[in-house]
Structure 1
Amino acid sequence: MDRTSSAVLVEPRRIELQSFPLPETGPDDGLLRVLGTGICGSDWAPYAGTWMTELPPLVLGHEVVGEVVAIGARAAHRWGVAEGDRIVLEESIPCQHCRLCRTGRSHMCDPMHTPDGLRYGLTPSSLAPHLWGGFGEYVYLHPRSVVHRISKDVPVEVAPLFIPISNGIRWIERDGGCRIGDTVVILGPGQHGLGCVIGAGLAGAGTTIVVGTARDDARLALAASLGADHVVRAEDGPLDEQIAALTGGQMADVVVDVTAGSSGALAEAVSVARVGGTVIVAGSREMAPATGFRPDLLFFKELTVKGVYGHDYTSVRRAIAVIESGTLPLAGLCTHTFGLGEVDQALRTLGGEGDPTAVHITVVPQSS
Structure 2
Amino acid sequence: MQLPPTVFDPAFNITRASHIVLTVDDLDASRRFYEEVIGLITSAADADAVYLRGVEEACHHSLVLRRGSGTPGCTRIGMRVVNEDHLARAHDVLAEMGCTVSWAEAPYQGRTLHVTDPVGTPLELCARMDAMPRMITRFSTHKGGAAGRLDHYQILTPEVGKALAFYNKLGFRLTEYIMPPGGEVLGGVFLQRKGNPHDIVFFNGIGPRLHHFAYTVAEGANLLRACDVAGELGYGRKVERGPGRHGPGHAMFVYFRDPAGHRIELFNTHYQVMDLENEPVGWDPADSNISFPWGLPAQRRWFEEATPFEGVTSSEPAARPNPLSLERFLAALDAG
Q: TM-score range by the shorter chain?
A: under 0.3
More helix, by proportion: 1
TM-score when normalising by structure 1: 0.23
More strand, by proportion: 2
TM-score when normalising by structure 2: 0.25
Structure possessing the higher radius of gyration over alpha carbons:
1
